[in-house]
């Protein structure tokens, strides 16, 4: 990625920059735009920053809601960014998280001829040659793709997830803009570097590129299918790979009852308690057995089939837990249930997530209060997902780093608990968790696991023993050759330098104006040269120029908000 100043400024990019900044200003974020010193980088900056302020109606809304509305108006890339940020409480305040979770794609359907052309381009043949039926009316539309029903030549009922034409180029332009804005945030906003905005945009670029490639989602579905092979209570749609590519995903059409439609489930004779238990069991297996879980289990993605079978849809958002994270999560849950604060802090210290500047004494106090809040709650009433979300909030407050997948898991677990309680008011997630946590702890302290840990430790020391003499020798050689260097990086001085430049320019401008006034006054005293209304024209022109320049300088100072 090129620095912001080196981005290719074609007409389309400049129009999009203007549109993005204009919408931010429209929703009341003009002060942020000004802080970023956009006018220093874009020739159109002065015009962009002077577009106006938020309307009175928008000013009545909270800043978090205005941000959500701005992201929705900015389109698919920014909606997806907001959805990513909604999983990052370490970056985004809680009130913003609640709003970002409400982000919705409000887009009209792509015309049928464009969809048909997209399918033809991806699969190499016209739709009528590939399928016996293709319903041109979409089942659903979103910012990146829309869904249609159809029938294969072999008679199978299918659904097609088809990427919107030209969406890739739109997203690429927007990511360039986001990278430029991230560069400016890190450079100009106080404390901006603490949130690593450039790293965040890079993570977002990787995530959205993966989402644009539907073959990745197809492979994810195949992985879930393999993980649940032989399970009679879970159904995963089949991927038809011969009709799937980067922009088209063809899946088996499965008709069921949405898991939240309780009356329909009862009328069909389903066992709601068994569905709640099977759903929780399936999710916990994804987390603690497979380490690969569906991160968006809302009711629209879970349908019930005959035999109390749960069918899972939409695998665009998944989370991963490695063995170490599964173990840490299990131990933390056990420590909370046992009210063992010291053990929790020890776990954080051991995992390296507790930063040096964290106040351990205050952290212990807050963790004790957090556990006390759950002490009087009966186990059957305890919401494990809510407990994890509250725990993550404490970590965020003390700037303790944690894997983003932990927040995904907390939200997904909270959603599954809510569904379970809807189906069965006596549903108890703690009881569902017990066999999984017990098995993990049993495996952790088994002889084979201890032997593996010992072998890994010995291997690490062996590698260190081999490399240490060489590293010490290289270090000493560099010192002897005067090649030992320490790189120091200053942060926060760029804004000071820019402010000094502005101040110096204003002083110089003021001196020019003063010189014009003094020079014009002297000319007025001479009463020589061409006269107008009894005054020398040259003196009048000097006064006029000084007045225009002085008025412009005053406007610039007032607009900056700093007298």
Q: List the catalytic residues.
A: 296
> In the numeric block, which tokens belong to residue 172?
């690429």
- Nearest CA to 381 out of 430, 328, 340, 320 is that of 430
Measured CA to CA, the distance from residue 369 to residue 391 in angstroms comes to: 11
User: What distance, in Å, lies between the first and last C-alpha atoms of the chain?
Assistant: 38
Distance CA 249, CA 146 (A): 11
Say if CB 393 and CB 360 are below 8 A apart: no
> How are beta strands 234-235 and 309-312 bridged, if at all?
parallel
Tokens of 173: 């332009």
Residues ≥6 apart with Cβ < 8 Å to 34: 49, 560
Whole-number Å distance between alpha carbons of 37 and 473: 48
Q: What would the two tokens of residue 300 be?
A: 């629209």
Give phi and psi for 377, each to the nearest 5: -85, 130
Contact between 199 and 193 under an 8 Å Cβ cutoff? The reply is: no
Contact yes or no for 304/257 (Cβ under 8 A): yes
DSSP at 317: S
Phi-psi region of 269 (alpha: psi -120 to 50; beta: other; left: phi over 0): left
CA–CA separation, 520 and 361 (whole Å): 70
Strands (E), 165-301: 234-235, 248-252, 257-258, 292-294
3 state DSSP class of 20: helix
Contact 427, 421 (CB under 8 A): yes
Residues 6+ apart with CB under 8 A from 204: 80, 81, 84, 175, 178
CA distances to 35, 36, 48, 503, 508 from 495, rounded to whole Å, are: 9, 9, 20, 12, 20
Grouping H, G, I as helix, E, B as strand and the rest as coil, residue 422 is helix
């Amino acid at each position: 990625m090129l620095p912001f100043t080196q981005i290719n400024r074609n007409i389309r990019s400049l129009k999009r920059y203007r549109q993005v900044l204009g919408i931010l200003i429209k929703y009341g974020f003009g002060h942020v735009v000004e802080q970023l010193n956009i006018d220093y980088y874009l020739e159109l900056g002065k015009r962009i920053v002077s577009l106006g302020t938020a309307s009175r109606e928008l000013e009545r809304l909270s800043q978090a809601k205005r941000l959500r509305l701005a992201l929705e108006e900015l389109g698919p890339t920014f909606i997806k960014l907001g959805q990513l940020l909604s999983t990052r409480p370490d970056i985004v305040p809680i009130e913003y998280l609640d709003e970002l979770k409400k982000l919705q794609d409000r887009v009209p359907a792509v015309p049928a001829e464009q969809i048909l052309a997209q399918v033809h381009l991806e699969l190499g043949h016209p739709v009528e040659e590939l399928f016996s039926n293709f319903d041109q009316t979409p089942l659903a539309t979103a910012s990146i793709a829309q869904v249609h029903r159809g029938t294969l030549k072999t008679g199978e009922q299918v659904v097609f997830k088809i990427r919107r034409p030209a969406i890739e180029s739109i997203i690429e332009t927007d990511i360039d803009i986001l990278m430029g804005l991230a560069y400016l945030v890190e450079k100009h906003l106080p404390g901006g570097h603490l949130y690593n905005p450039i790293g965040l945009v890079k993570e977002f670029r990787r995530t959205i590129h993966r989402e644009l490639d539907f073959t990745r989602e197809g492979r994810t579905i195949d992985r879930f299918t393999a993980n649940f092979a032989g399970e009679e209570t879970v159904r995963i749609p089949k991927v038809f790979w011969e009709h799937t590519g980067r922009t088209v995903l063809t899946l088996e059409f499965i008709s069921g009852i949405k898991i939240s439609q309780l009356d329909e489930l009862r009328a069909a004779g389903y066992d709601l308690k068994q569905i709640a238990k099977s759903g929780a069991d399936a999710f916990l297996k994804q987390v603690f057995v497979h380490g690969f879980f569906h991160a968006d289990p809302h009711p629209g993605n879970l349908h019930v089939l005959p035999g109390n079978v749960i069918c899972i849809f939409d695998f665009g958002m998944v989370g991963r837990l490695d063995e170490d994270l599964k173990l840490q999560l299990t131990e933390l849950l056990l420590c909370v249930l046992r009210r063992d604060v010291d053990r929790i802090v020890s776990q954080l210290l051991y995992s390296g997530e507790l930063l040096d500047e964290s106040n351990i004494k205050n952290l212990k106090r807050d963790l004790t209060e957090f556990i006390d809040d759950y002490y009087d709650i009966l186990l059957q009433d305890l919401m494990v997902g809510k407990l994890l979300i509250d725990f993550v909030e404490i970590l965020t407050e003390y700037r303790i780093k944690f894997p983003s997948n932990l927040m995904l898991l907390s939200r997904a677990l909270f959603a599954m608990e809510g569904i379970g309680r809807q189906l069965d008011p006596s549903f108890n997630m703690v009881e569902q968790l017990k066999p999984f946590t017990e098995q993990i702890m049993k495996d952790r302290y088994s002889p084979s696991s201890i032997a593996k840990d010992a072998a890994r430790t010995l291997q690490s020391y062996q590698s260190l023993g081999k490399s240490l003499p060489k590293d010490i020798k290289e270090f000493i050689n560099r010192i002897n050759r005067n090649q030992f260097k320490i790189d120091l990086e200053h942060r926060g001085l760029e804004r000071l330098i820019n402010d000094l430049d502005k101040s110096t320019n204003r002083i110089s401008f003021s001196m020019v104006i003063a010189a014009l006034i003094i020079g014009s006054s002297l000319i007025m005293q001479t009463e020589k040269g061409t006269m107008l209304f009894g005054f020398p024209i040259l003196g009048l022109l000097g006064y006029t120029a000084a007045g225009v320049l002085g008025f412009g300088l005053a406007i610039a100072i007032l607009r900056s908000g700093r007298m």
